[in-house]
Amino acid sequence: MARYLLRQSLNILLTLLAVTFLVFALNELTPGDVARKLLGPYATQEQVDHLFREMGLDRPLLVRYAEYVGNVLRGDLGTSVIYRQPVADVLLDRLGNTLLLAAICFAVIVPLSVALGVLAGMRERSPLDRGISVFASICASIPEFAMGVFMLAIFVVWLGVLPGTSPMRATAEWPVWMQFVLPVAVVTLYDAGYLVSMIRASMVEVMRQPFVRTAVLKGMPFHRVVTRHAMRNALITPFTVILLQLNYLVSGLVVVETLFAYPGFGRMMLEAALAKDIAVVEAGALVAVTVTMLTQLLGDLGYMKLDPRIRI
């Protein structure tokens, strides 16, 4: 176990190093010049060159990368070019917002998907199963931006009962909690649609197992068969998938954040990437990769717990 954790930690560090280098190099290769971007279209080439040198961008890529890694190891993530603040400040603020949104979504998505998936899967091809499956497929197949626009049209423009954007500031009319309703609803419908189908499929398979038939035949009440025997087994496969949703919820909310003007991590990453604000992009990549690797680790450990046959 200790060896496993050590190996995994090393693995994470190596991946982080590789990703930061790749991001650095890719940023270099993509077109556009950060100095030109900052000075605007009317600045002369001399002024652009001047800033370019001032920012140290005329030095070789490897030198700048080594310097960057050195700074990060000392805990200095650099300064954002577009936000003109230390990267750590911007990042923490935006990440905090996204984690809050992600936590609320996760807290809604998981119980909802498990409940619907189990309900659908316990009696295959029942009307309940059909209803839930169709609903889940529809939700999962409408892209977030389309779902968002539908919801805006209904609840904001037509009914006028919810705020259309979520800048996370209370106004006289719209308290902050109401500003969460639409983003959470869009993420939940989209993401739960997928999870429900996964859990249902796993449940269907478990319900066909001999031990379930045995339990039913020996006269155990159906709800106990489901909750005591089937559910735990049915959740082993979707467990990893559920954990993978954490990734999506931290770094994949860019569409929803943009649509609802939510000041989160995804929107920050998009804007930083477009402006070639490399310090922010790198820090964001570090966070995203760490989250991915940690959820994988968590997934492995959880797997072991759920299925005693697995040993690491």
The residue ranges that bind another protein (CB under 8 A) are 30-33, 36-44, 46-47, 50-51, 82-85, 90, 148-149, 152, 156-157, 160, 162-165, 167, 169, 171, 173-174, 258-261, 263, 267-268, 271, 274, 276
Could you tell me if 135 and 112 are in contact, meaning their C-beta atoms sit under 8 angstroms apart? no
Write down the least CB distance from residue 224 to another protein, Å.
Answer: 48
CB of 90 or CB of 234, closer to another protein = 90
Sign of CA dihedral 142, 268, 103, 198: positive
Q: Cβ closer to another protein: 25 or 310?
A: 25
Rank residues 263 and 299 by Cβ distance to another protein and give the closer one.
Answer: 263
Residue 165: which region, alpha, beta or left (left: phi > 0; alpha: psi -120 to 50)? beta
Task: Indicate the residue among 32 and 221 with the shorter CB distance to another protein.
Answer: 32
**Smallest distance, Å, CB 272 to another protein?**
10
Nearer to another protein, 29 or 217 (CB): 29
Task: Work out how close the CB of 95 gets to another protein at its nearest, in angstroms, rounded to a whole number.
Answer: 14
Q: Bridge partners of 79?
A: 86
Give the helix/strand (H/E) hosting 239.
Answer: helix 236-251
Nearest CB to another protein, comparing residues 226 and 259: 259
- Residue 257 CB, shortest distance to another protein, in Å, is 8
CA distance 272 to 279: 9
Q: How far apart are CA 307 and CA 312, in angstroms?
A: 12
CB of 102 to another protein, least distance (A): 19
Write down the least CB distance from residue 65 to another protein, Å.
21
Interior angle at CA 197, CA 193 and CA 199, nearest 5: 115
**Long-range contacts of the stretch 81-86 (C-beta < 8 A, 24+):** 81/34, 81/38, 81/275, 81/276, 81/277, 81/278, 81/279, 81/280, 82/271, 82/272, 82/275, 82/277, 82/280, 83/277, 83/280
CB of 190 to another protein, least distance (A): 16
Euclidean distance between CA atoms 146 and 158, whole angstroms: 17
Q: State the angle between helix axes of 265-274 and 278-306 in degrees (0 to 180), rounded to the nearest 10.
A: 140
Instruction: State which residue, 121 or 148, has the beta carbon closest to another protein.
Output: 148
Q: How far apart are CA 92 and CA 100, in angstroms?
A: 12
